[in-house]
Amino acid sequence: MTENTSGDAPRTSGPPKSPEPSGVDLARVALRAAKDAARARGDAAQQKKQARRGGLRSGARADGRDPMALGSAINRLITERGWEAPAAVGGVMGRWPQIVGEDVAKHCVPERYDEDERVLTVRCDSTAWATNLRLLAPTLVARLNEDLGHGTVQLIKVQGPGGPARRYGPLRAPGSTGPGDTYG
């Protein structure tokens, strides 16, 4: 049995920290920060130059006040807000038939993407197709990550068909909320 002679109290870990970005995510964050800093330095120099010339003037050259095309504005917004991965996954949902094939796309539809857990949820119209997609899931995850970037999708959650809408009694009036709508 060993004795603690240094008098140090045992270290306890604090609350769990969120995972630090690594790899491609870390590079994107660093690049975005460097671009923002460079843009800020350039804007400050431009403002000093304009102040020496006598203030802000309109001219033939492009500046930050000019209108921009909608596509450029959307791309800038996506980059500034860090929405690259959700936007890319949204594009995958639009190109679903080309990615998985027409046969699978007829029976399986992507429903949502959870960015925090990196899980794509897919609903199938039958249990047979759900089983088939579960078997194809590792190949499909590899194909999606090849298209979107490594680690964008870590898991595909496959759901079978939902049950029919629940009805109470054989003679249900359309728009009725049940017996409570008659007495109150």
Question: Among 144, 157, 165, which residue's Cα sits nearest to residue 91?
Answer: 144
Average pLDDT over residues 171-183: 61
pLDDT given for residue 56 in this prediction: 58
DSSP secondary structure code for residue 180 in this structure = G
d(CA 159, CA 119): 13
- Determine the Cα–Cα distance for residues 180 and 116; give it in Å rounded to an integer: 41
What's the pLDDT at 184? 41
Where is pLDDT greater, at 85 or 55?
A: 85
Percent pLDDT > 90 in the chain is: 7
Q: Which of 123, 122, 120 is nearest to 154 (CA)?
A: 120
Under the banding of pLDDT at 50, 70 and 90, the label for residue 164 is: low
Give the pLDDT band (50/70/90) at residue 71: confident
Determine the pLDDT at residue 62: 72
Helix (H) / strand (E) element for 113: namely strand 108-114
Residue among 27, 24, 28 at smallest CA distance from 150 = 24
